[in-house]
Chains A and B, each alone.
Chain A
Amino acid sequence: MTLVSPLGDSVNHQTKKPQGHSLWHDARLRLQRNKLAMFGLLFLICLVVIALLTPWIAPYNYDSQNLALGASPPSSKHWFGTDTLGRDQLTRVLFGSRISLMVGFIATSVALIIGVLWGTIAGFSGGKVDAIMMRIVDILYALPFAIFIILLTVIFGRSLLLLFLAIGAVEWMTMARIMRGQTLAIKRQEYVEAALTMGLSRWQIIRRYLIPNALGPIIVYTTLTIPSVILLESFLSFLGLGIQPPQSSWGSLISAGGETMEEYPWLLIFPGITLALTLFSLNFLGDGLRDALDPQSAKD
C-alpha cells in the first residue's frame, strides 16, 4: 500500500470506469492522501501483526518467573525490565496486546453493529416501535453495570467470550442513542423522502441513505469507545471476569504498574506508552476516516 497515491491515478480511474466511483472508493483515495491517518493505520496493522506472531517472537514465556531477579529496570536482556516476580515485561506487554486488541476491536464491533442497527431501526420506524426499543435501552442503562457483570459471572462462569458480551452489552446503548438522534434528523431530509417516492425499500434506505450520512459522529464515537473498552477490561478482570494472572492485558498491566509506580516506574511507563500510541493512531485514523467519508470536506 502506498502512502500517497498520485493524483493522476485517480483522474485516469474516473474516465475509465464510472461505476467504481462510489463513496467508498473515493473515501479510500482520500484516506490515502491523509498522511497522518495512513501512519495511524500502518501502526495499527504492525501492532496486529506483532500480536498475532507473539507466541513465536516473544523473548520469554509469559508465565516463566525468575524470583531471584525480582523487579529489575530495563536492560539489554529485558528491554522493558521485569516485574516483581521477575517476569519479562516486554513479553507481558506483547501477550497483553493480544487480549487488549481483541477486546478493543471485537467488543467495539459488537457494540457498533448492535447499536447502529438498533438506533437506526428505532429512529426510522418511529412511533410505538421507537418508544419500545428506546425504553428497553433506558431500562438497561439503569441497571448498575457492576451488578450486571457479577450476575453474568455467577450464572455463566468466567470466559473470554462472556467478557466480549458483557462489554458489548454496555457499550452499544450509547451508540444506539447517538444513531437514533442522527436518524431522526436525517429522515426528515428531502433526499430520504425522495428515496421513499422512488420506491426504495426501508432496508435500502437505511443502508444507502441513513447510515452513510450518520457516519461522522459514529466514527468519532467508535474511536473513543475502543480505548474505553480496553480499560474497561482491566476493571472486569479485577472483578474476576475475563483474564486472570499470569495472563496479562494492557489494562491489568497498567493497573498493576500504577500500584508500584514510585518504586518501579517502568512497569507503568511501557504498557502506558503502548496504549497511548495505539490511541493516537486510532484517533488519527478515525479523523481521517470521518473526513474521507464526507465528500464535502476539503478536496485534498
Chain B
Amino acid sequence: MLNVINLSISFYTRNGVTQAVKDLSFSVKKGETLAIVGESGSGKSVSCQTIVGLVPSPPAKVESGAVEWQNSDLLQQNEAQLRRIRGKKISMIFQDPMTSLNPNMRIGTQIVEALLEHSDAGPAQAKQRAIEALKEVGIENAEQRFKAFPHQFSGGMRQRVMIAMALVTQPDIVIADEPTTALDVTIQAQILELLAGLQKKHQLAIIFISHDLAVVRNIADHVIVMKSGTVVESGSPQQLFEQPKHPYTKKLIDAIPSGAKPQSRDSHAENLIEIKNLSTHFHTRHGAFWKPVKSVTVAADNINISLKKGEILGLVGESGSGKSTLGRSIVRLVKPSKGEIRFAGKNLLQLSPRQMQAIRPHIQMVFQDPYASLNPRMTVYDALAEPVCLHTSIGKAELPGYIAKLLDDVGMPEAAQNKYPHEFSGGQRQRIAIARALACSPQVIIADEPVSALDVTIQEQILALLLKLNAQRGISILFISHDLSVVRYLCDRVAVMEKGRIVEINACEQVFRQPAHAYTKSLLAAIP
C-alpha cells in the first residue's frame, strides 16, 4: 500500500550536516501494523513526518529515495497536493493530545473542520459524522461532549478525541507517533485496544512509532528497529524478541525492566520517615470574587505509611492518584491539611521554616523532567556547589574536588562541570539532578517519576545508578512511578494509591504475585 524506498534525510545547520535517516526502506499493507522502534534521535519520527511532508525544509533535505503511494511518489508532490492527502488519506496521531489539539476551539468544531476540508459533506452531515466518530472511540454523551474544549477532557479521553479526528476522514493509513507515551498504563492499554479494534473494522494500515518495545510486542505485525538513522533489524515481533540478531536489539530487550530485585531486605529495619493520618486537601476558589465558589479536592486521604532505613519504597498509581502530592508533602512543597510526618523524632509539619532548613539536606528530591529541574542559567558546577555551600562545612579549597567526585559517583566526566544543562541529553541531566540531590549526603531521596521522561536504555542506566546509591550509601528512596515493571525491578516494598488513598502496601513480590486489591489487579493486567 505504502512503500518507502531507500529514504535518506539530512539536516543542514550552521554546525554542519547531520544525516538523520540513511537508506530506510519499508512497506505497510492494508490492515497491518508496522512498528518503528528506537531511541529519541534515531530518526523514527523524522522519516514518518517526511512521508506527509511535515518536516521543515530547510534545514531538512531529502537526499534520495521515494515514497510510493497509489502509483505516485509523495516526495515529488507539491504542498497543495500533499494537503489533500494529509489528513484525508494519511492521518496522524501525536504523542501529546494537549498540545496537538487547539485549546481555544471546541473539539467538535475541530473535527468538523477536518471533514469540511477533506470531504464533500455539508455542515450538518459533518456534524453527524463527527458525533459518530466520537461515539466510535468510546466517548460517552458524544452529543454534549461535542461542544467541550480540550482541557475539559482527561489525557486518555483527549487521545481518544485525537483518534476520532484522525479517523473521521476515513483514511487508509494512520501514523501514530508515540500515541500512548504520555498516558497511564491502564489508559494506555485502553487506547491500544481501541486502535486495534478500529484497525480491524476499517482495515487501516497503522505505522506505530514508539520507543517502547514492550508496547509494540502485542500490537505489531512487523517491527523495524532504528538506531542513529539506520535500520539495524526488522522482523516479526516474535522473531525479534526470541532471537534478536543485532546487539542493539538485544540491548533494547534487556533494558525492559523485568523480574524482581534479587535480594530481600531485612524487614525489621527502623522507620526513617513515618507518616500518620496525613490528609491533603486543595482548596480552589472560582467564580466572581464577590461571590466565590469554593471547592475542595482531596489529594491525599488519611495516609499511613513508613519508609524504612535503607529500603526502596515504590509508590504507584495513575496520574491524579495523589502519589506526587504525598512525595511533595514530605519536603513541604505542598502543605498537608492534617496529620504527621515524623523524621528523626520531629514532626516536619510543625517545624518553623528555619528549623525545616536544618532537615532539608537530609531529604532530597529528584524530579520527573530533567529538562525543567535544572536552572538553565547555572553551570553544573554552580548548581552542585549551591547545596554544598549551604549545608556542609566543605571549604572553598576542597569544593572542586568534592564536586568532581560527585559527578564521578553518578557517572559523569569531570569536564561536565563547566557546561550548562542544555548541553546534555535527558539521561545526563537526570544524572546531574541526582548528583545535586546527593550533594549534602541525604538519608532519603524522594524520586518523583525520575525515569518516565527517558528512553528505555537510559532508563535502565538511571535505575542501576539508583540501586547502586541505595546499596553503597544506604540511602532510602521513595520511588514514585506509574510504571509497574520499573517498580518491580527496583523496589523492596510497594504501596498502591488510588484516588488519594493507599489501597495496598506489601513486599514487592507479594504485590505482583498475589495482588490483594481489585485496583492493583487492574493495574497489573494493563502492563503491556
Q: Which residues of A contact B (CB under 8 A)?
A: 14, 18-19, 21-23, 26, 189-191, 193-201, 208-209, 212-213, 293-296, 298
| A18→B400 contact, CB < 8 A | yes
B: interface residue count bin: 35 or more
Min CB gap B379→A, angstroms: 6
Q: In the bound complex, how far is the Cα of B422 from the Cα of A21, in angstroms?
A: 16
B149 within 8 A of A: no
Chain B residues with Cβ below 8 Å from A296 are: 376, 420, 422
Q: Are A208 and B381 in contact (CB under 8 A)?
A: no
Given contacts A18-B381, A193-B373, A213-B375, 8 further A-B contacts (CB under 8 A): A22-B382, A193-B365, A194-B367, A197-B365, A199-B360, A212-B375, A295-B376, A298-B14
Given contacts A18-B417, A199-B357, contact A295 B422 (CB under 8 A): yes
Cα–Cα, bound, A191→B381 (Å): 15
Taking CB atoms, residues of chain A closer than 8 Å to B378 are: 23, 208, 212
- Determine whether the beta carbon of A189 is less than 8 Å from that of B372: yes
Contact B367 A193 (CB under 8 A): yes
| Residues B333 and A197 in contact, CB atoms below 8 Å apart | yes
Which residues of A sit under 8 angstroms from B436, Cβ to Cβ?
Answer: 194, 198
**Main SS of chain A's interface residues?**
helix
Count of A-B residue pairs with CB < 8 Å: 87
* Cβ proximity bits B362-389 to A, threshold 8 Å, 1 near / 0 not: 0111011100111111110110001100
**B382: chain A residues within 8 A (beta carbon):** 22-23
User: Which of A14, A197, A295 sits near B331, CB closer than 8 Å?
Assistant: A197
Contact with A along B309-332 (1 / 0, CB 8 A): 000000000000000000000010
Q: Does B54 contact A (CB under 8 A)?
A: no
- Complex CA gap A286/B419 in Å reads 24
Q: Which residues of the other chain, A, contact B333 by a CB distance below 8 angstroms?
A: 193, 196-197
**Residues B390 and A198 in contact, CB atoms below 8 Å apart:** yes
Q: List A contacts of B376 (CB < 8 A).
A: 191, 213, 295-296
Q: Shortest beta-carbon distance, A42 to chain B, in Å? A: 27
* Distance A26 CA – B382 CA, assembled complex (angstroms): 13
Establish whether residues A19 and B379, one from each chain, have CB atoms under 8 Å apart when the complex forms.
no
A22, A194, A213, A295: the one within 8 Å of B433 (CB)? A194
- Return A297 CB to nearest CB of chain B, in Å: 10
Can you list 27 A-B contacts with CB-CB less than 8 angstroms, sorted by A residue number? A18-B381, A18-B417, A21-B381, A21-B418, A23-B378, A190-B369, A190-B373, A191-B376, A193-B373, A194-B365, A194-B433, A194-B436, A196-B331, A197-B333, A198-B360, A198-B361, A198-B364, A198-B436, A199-B356, A199-B361, A199-B387, A200-B390, A201-B357, A208-B375, A213-B375, A294-B377, A298-B14
The answer to whether B377 touches A23 (Cβ under 8 A) is: yes
B391 within 8 A of A: yes
CB of A191 within 8 A of CB of B390, answer no
- Give bound CA distance, A189 to B376, whole Å: 11
Closest A residue by C-beta to B357: A199
